[in-house]
Amino acid sequence: MFYLLLAGVFCFLYYKKIVEPADFSADNSIDRVITFHTWKPYQFRLLVPFIFVLLKPLSFIPQKTVFIVYDFIIVCFIIDVFNKTLTQYIQNKKAILWLSPVILYPMLWNYIILNQGFQFYDFTSVLIFTIGIYFILKEKFTYLLIVFIIGLVNKETIAYLGFAYVFFNYKKMFTKKIILNVLLMSALFVVYKLILNYLFQNNAGSTVEISYDANIYTIKQLPFNRIYQKDIFLNFGLLYVPVLLLFLTGRWKKHPDRRKVYVNLVFLPYLLFGIFIIYFSEIRVYAELIPGISTLFIIYLSAFDKLNLRPVEYV
């Protein structure tokens, strides 16, 4: 009931701030994607529009209402899956019950407090990536592959789940099994993008949106532009600060299973490649980093003995 209440309050705020004033008939809206008439790469993000096709019997209900109910369900699942993910890190199950909603904190900042833009796939991206991390931790590649494929239909940045898989398996990276698994995920990503690019070759826009020039401009303007400063430095509600402390103070070494720390380092390739394919100043684009940043914050807390967050031992 507590989780439902939190999800309800969160989604109500998101609705009032972002969804209610959003233009649901815009060129990159759900309806335009469904009719295959929007520009690339938005046209590639088909999962949520396909879900709304299935919800067509509810067309008598305003689309914004259906959407926020959908988001409410997604947010509930995000908390639940993050709860299951934390059981792989710390032993205190009662503490996990209270810590699971922590993932809503960076979402509050990135999607409500700082955010001004709306995209229908954002919360779904957070959920799918969180599920993917959970299956990596459980070492269930078949389930991970299914999640990866579903994530591809939602948004191409699911590719960073492959990096999480590599980081987790760093000790056996050059074994035949891991190499083949990584090649399979890479091949699926490339083939899917090529197929979509062929199917929607006549749509305006490019297969990959290049943001390099805009990001260089943002970096140059950062010392002078208060909006950029606010959006970048308040990203994740400053939750990245304890994450930095986790590594700078060496507290991450207290966790008995370093694989479970490394799996959350997706922010490294995200920022490296992100300079070309994301817009640093657009606060909502960091969806795939939210589960990892939230988990690393919990790992930081677990390094303090007085908090009784003893890590799960390495098996």
Task: Give per-residue pLDDT as tens, 37-46.
Answer: 899 989 999 9
Band of residue 315 on the pLDDT scale cut at 50, 70, 90: low
Q: Is it the case that residue 314 has pLDDT exceeding 80?
A: no
User: What are the Cα distances from residue 78, in Å, to 103, 198, 219, 267, 287?
Assistant: 8, 34, 32, 19, 12
Burial degree of 44 (CB within 10 A; 0-12, 13-18, 19+): buried
Kindly give, in sequence order, each residue whose CB lies less than 8 Å from that of residue 212, ignoring residues fewer than 6 positions away. 275, 276
Amino acid 207: pLDDT = 84
pLDDT in tens, 94-116: 999 999 999 999 999 999 999 99
Q: Which helix (H) or strand (E) holds 188?
A: helix 176-199
pLDDT in tens, 267-293: 999 999 999 989 999 999 999 999 999
Residue 256: φ, ψ to 5°: -70, -20
Question: Taking residues 118-125, what's their average pLDDT?
Answer: 97
pLDDT in tens, 136-170: 999 999 999 999 999 999 999 999 999 999 999 99
Q: Is it the case that residue 306 has pLDDT exceeding 90?
A: no
What is the C-alpha to C-alpha distance for residues 131 and 133, in angstroms, rounded to an integer? 5
CA angle 93, 301, 159 (to 5 degrees): 85
Residue with tokens 């989780």: 3
Average pLDDT of every residue of the chain? 94
Per-residue b or e along 140-167, where b marks 16 or more CB atoms closer than 10 Å to that residue's CB: ebeebbebbeebbbbbbbbbbbbbbbbb
Amino acid 208: pLDDT = 82
Question: Taking residues 192-198, what's their average pLDDT?
Answer: 92
Question: Taking residues 11-27, what's their average pLDDT?
Answer: 95
Q: Where would I find the beta strands (DSSP E) of 150-305?
A: none
Residue 213: φ, ψ to 5°: -60, -40
Amino acid 84: pLDDT = 97
